[in-house]
Structure 1
Amino acid sequence: MTKVIKKVLSVLMAVAVIAAVFAGCSSNSSNNDNSSSERASKDAAKFAVVAMDGSNGAFKDMADGIIDELVAKGYKKDNIVFKDAQGDATSLSTIINSLDDGSYSAILTVGTQATQTLVNIKSETPCFFCAVSAPVQAGIITDMNKPDKFATGTSNAIPVSDIVKMGLQITPNVKKWGLIYSESQVNAKNTVDSAVKYFKGIGAQYEIATVDTANDVKSSTEILLKKGCDAVFVPNDQIVQQGVESLVSVCNEAGVPTYCSSATTVKSGCLATLAIDDKGIGAKTADMCVEYMQGKALENIPSIVVSVDYCTYNSTTAAALQKANPTLKLVTPTEKSVGQKINEIK
């Protein structure tokens, strides 16, 4: 009888051990396998939205688009925090590290630098990035269609060739283009490289100027004009954006048209661009996060390139250019001529 009892106890202990092993595996799976259908409830879910520089109009609109869409989908606004590094890389790193405590359902990053900072610490909190123009080149993911590194999101790949074509329709007599950017901005460098490739392909002349800080923008612009540039292209560069008003002032006084990659930069005085809707790309990023919250595996949510929404044109800048340079041939863009709806800034 004693032998029987011992045998039964032995079997029960074995079963208990096996059950414990499976329970542990199940627990690990629920923590680390983002294919789980169980996410936090809408009332309990917490999100952080992070931008390198909230004073950047485009970044602010994108962040607002993210937050508004999450709220529209039923998530509590009180559970969504917005963190602004105010243009300081050290502050950005501190913010990202403080958020990586496991208490957030997801972190939504605006722009390349904020996204790189989160991905580089190898956080296991899902990252949904907004408006990263070159996610693969920036080391954020390895494949747009198969997201990894706990990250996916939206790309605002700049349609450089289309912007140049549009520029040549608006100001057809342009002979030499000026390019200005900061070498510290990966996204801007990729855009400039694309522009150079296109200019070489069509046999266009160009000059390049680089800046280290926003204070360099004015002098670098003046150098481009002294080299004979009769149009200037501003890429998606946060540092140049900070000094873009001085660039516009120099160019407008000289009657030199300025083209760019952001509707916000047109609002700052550049002549025109083909651009995304900044709040719209924020909303699209939030929608991807919602897919994840509803149970879709992160790796099954491909990163997407958001296409152009409209041609943004600054008619006040156009008038200033023609006043400064009466011989400038300037053709007002139309939906038919540029193939996009016109968003006029006055």
Structure 2
Amino acid sequence: MKKLGKIALAVALGLSMTACSSGTAKKDKSDVKIGVIQYTEHPALDKAYDGFVKQMKKAGYKKSQIDFKNAQNDQSNCETIANKFVNDGDDLIYAIATPAAQAVKGKTDDIPIVISAVTDPKAAGLVQSNKKPGENVTGTSDLNPVEEQIELLQKLIPNAKKVGIMYCSSEDNSIVQAKLARKAIEKAGMEAQDFTVSETNQIQQVAESMVGKVDAVYIPTDNMLAESISSVTSVTNENNLPCIVGESNMCEGGGLATYSIDYEKLGEQAGKMAVKILNGADPATMKIQYQSTDDLQLYINRKVATQLGITIPDEYQDATDIGE
């Protein structure tokens, strides 16, 4: 009887192990479901999505396997979309921009989440550490070369003494960049002053409030302001107030200049990480990745420069032209 009991136990354990093994087996690539949540619609985030899709296709996944949703700059939409992906049992979620990533992280500790266009994942409460995420979240950061952008401001507007930092006070990514900008501005011997918005209907009024108070404006890669950059520059350029901005698409919207990362390449980086996770890698051990300084590009809106009477130094003559 004891011998039969041991045999039965061995068989039961064998079946249990088989069940566990099959439960954790890598899913067939054609059965994988990927949810994508993008916080708002503007060119930089669009490129982060395009780069991701490009990389996933390269790895053999089809676009039909990717469920893309845009939250249209509405946090309640982020919550709804995040719930949908979790309820659908998606195998991986790609979250573009900090508010989208925070919404998804709040809904699941199990589904792997790859983020992009998030300035500081740790400060946003998404990971335990940017070097050792420790949970189900990893991805790519769009941390700007803030010091270089402030240096650019000084070179293009050498007489600037007071710089306004305009950003959305409810975006963690913007708060991080504003602090870095203040530090760089003060280090450069200039005075910094914050001008914050929390809703889009405040943008024009706040932009108007900067006129006469500062000599130049710095705007980071703020989602709200990136989407509404023309509302800012329609005021600032009309009042000879140059704006150094966080990324190239904001230059196209009337910003004077920037050193910008390549958001499509950032999305490709995130896609490579997603593929590794779908192949069995643990996001908890995958450090947050940053874009190489070799991929930074200088952009100048020469039309705006002409409008503001700004002479472009010889060292910047090779910059990518925008607005001509």
- What displacement does 1:109 show? 0.7
Cα distance in 1 for residues equivalent to 2:49 and 2:275:
15
Q: Which letter does structure 2 place at the counterpart of 1:342?
A: A
TM-score, normalised via structure 1 length? 0.87
Unaligned stretches of 5+ residues in structure 1: 1-5, 31-37, 323-328
Q: Is the 8 A contact 2:36 2:95 kept in 1?
A: yes
Q: Are 1:319 and 2:278 counterparts?
A: no
Cα distance in 1 for residues equivalent to 2:17 and 2:88:
24
Q: Is the 8 A contact 1:156 1:307 kept in 2?
A: no
In the TM superposition, what whole-angstrom CA distance separates every residue of 1:274-314 from its partner, at most 9, and x where no partner exists? 11111111111101111222332323322111134201211
Question: Structure 1 residues 12, 96: CA separation in 2 closer, same or farther (over 3 Å shift)?
Answer: same
Cα distance in 2 for residues equivalent to 1:244 and 1:77:
31
Superposed CA RMSD: 2.0
Cα distance in 2 for residues equivalent to 1:345 and 1:202:
27
Q: Paired residue for 2:311? A: 330
Q: Is the 8 A contact 2:142 2:290 kept in 1?
A: yes
- What displacement does 1:331 show? 2.0
Q: Which letter does structure 2 place at the counterpart of 1:249?
A: S
Q: Paired residue for 1:16? A: 11
Q: Paired residue for 2:207? A: 221
Q: Is the 8 A contact 1:102 1:125 kept in 2?
A: no
Q: Paired residue for 2:117? A: 131
For residues 13-52 of structure 1, the aligned pairs below 5 Å read 13-23=8-18, 26=21, 30=24, 38-52=25-39
Q: Paired residue for 1:3? A: none
Q: Which letter does structure 1 place at the counterpart of 2:300?
A: Y
Greater Cα shift, 234-243 or 313-322: 234-243
Which of residues 89, 109, 115 is equivalent to 2:75? 89
- What displacement does 1:333 show? 6.3
Cα distance in 2 for residues equivalent to 1:42 and 1:8:
44
Cα distance in 1 for residues equivalent to 2:2 and 2:176:
70
Q: Paired residue for 1:310? A: 297
- What displacement does 1:205 show? 1.3
Cα distance in 2 for residues equivalent to 1:208 and 1:8:
78
Q: Is the 8 A contact 2:86 2:107 kept in 1?
A: no
TM-score, normalised via structure 2 length? 0.92
Which of residues 259, 280, 288 is equivalent to 1:295? 280
Q: Paired residue for 1:343? A: 320
Q: Is the 8 A contact 1:100 1:123 kept in 2?
A: no
Which of residues 242, 254, 266 is equivalent to 1:281? 266
Q: Is the 8 A contact 2:135 2:284 kept in 1?
A: no
Q: Which letter does structure 1 place at the counterpart of 2:76?
A: T
Q: Which letter does structure 2 place at the counterpart of 1:248?
A: T
Cα distance in 2 for residues equivalent to 1:220 and 1:123:
39
Cα distance in 1 for residues equivalent to 2:31 and 2:199:
42
- What displacement does 1:237 show? 1.5
Q: Are 1:270 and 2:255 counterparts?
A: yes
- What displacement does 1:119 show? 1.0
Q: Is the 8 A contact 2:139 2:273 kept in 1?
A: yes
Sequence identity, in percent?
26
SS at match of 2:60: coil
Cα distance in 2 for residues equivalent to 1:292 and 1:150:
10
Q: Which letter does structure 1 place at the counterpart of 2:126?
A: I
Q: Paired residue for 2:218? A: 233
Q: Are 1:212 and 2:198 counterparts?
A: yes
Cα distance in 2 for residues equivalent to 1:57 and 1:195:
23
Q: Paired residue for 1:34? A: none
Cα distance in 2 for residues equivalent to 1:211 and 1:182:
5
Question: Structure 1 residues 242, 77: CA separation in 2 closer, same or farther (over 3 Å shift)?
Answer: closer
- What displacement does 1:332 show? 4.4
Q: Are 1:261 and 2:261 counterparts?
A: no
Deviant stretches of 4+, over 6 Å? none
Q: Which letter does structure 1 place at the counterpart of 2:174?
A: A
SS at match of 2:72: coil
For residues 148-167 of structure 1, the aligned pairs below 5 Å read 148-167=134-153
Unaligned stretches of 5+ residues in structure 2: none
Q: Is the 8 A contact 1:42 1:75 kept in 2?
A: yes
Which of residues 239, 249, 254 is equivalent to 2:234? 249
Which of residues 51, 54, 57 is equivalent to 1:71? 57
Question: Structure 1 residues 102, 145: CA separation in 2 closer, same or farther (over 3 Å shift)?
Answer: farther
Q: Is the 8 A contact 1:131 1:155 kept in 2?
A: yes
Cα distance in 2 for residues equivalent to 1:128 and 1:77:
17
Q: Is the 8 A contact 2:86 2:108 kept in 1?
A: no
In the TM superposition, what whole-angstrom CA distance separates every residue of 1:99-125 from its partner, at most 9, and x where no partner exists? 013632211110111111111223311
User: If you compute each CA radius of gyration, which structure gives the higher value, 1 or 2?
Assistant: 1
Greater Cα shift, 8-17 or 66-75: 8-17
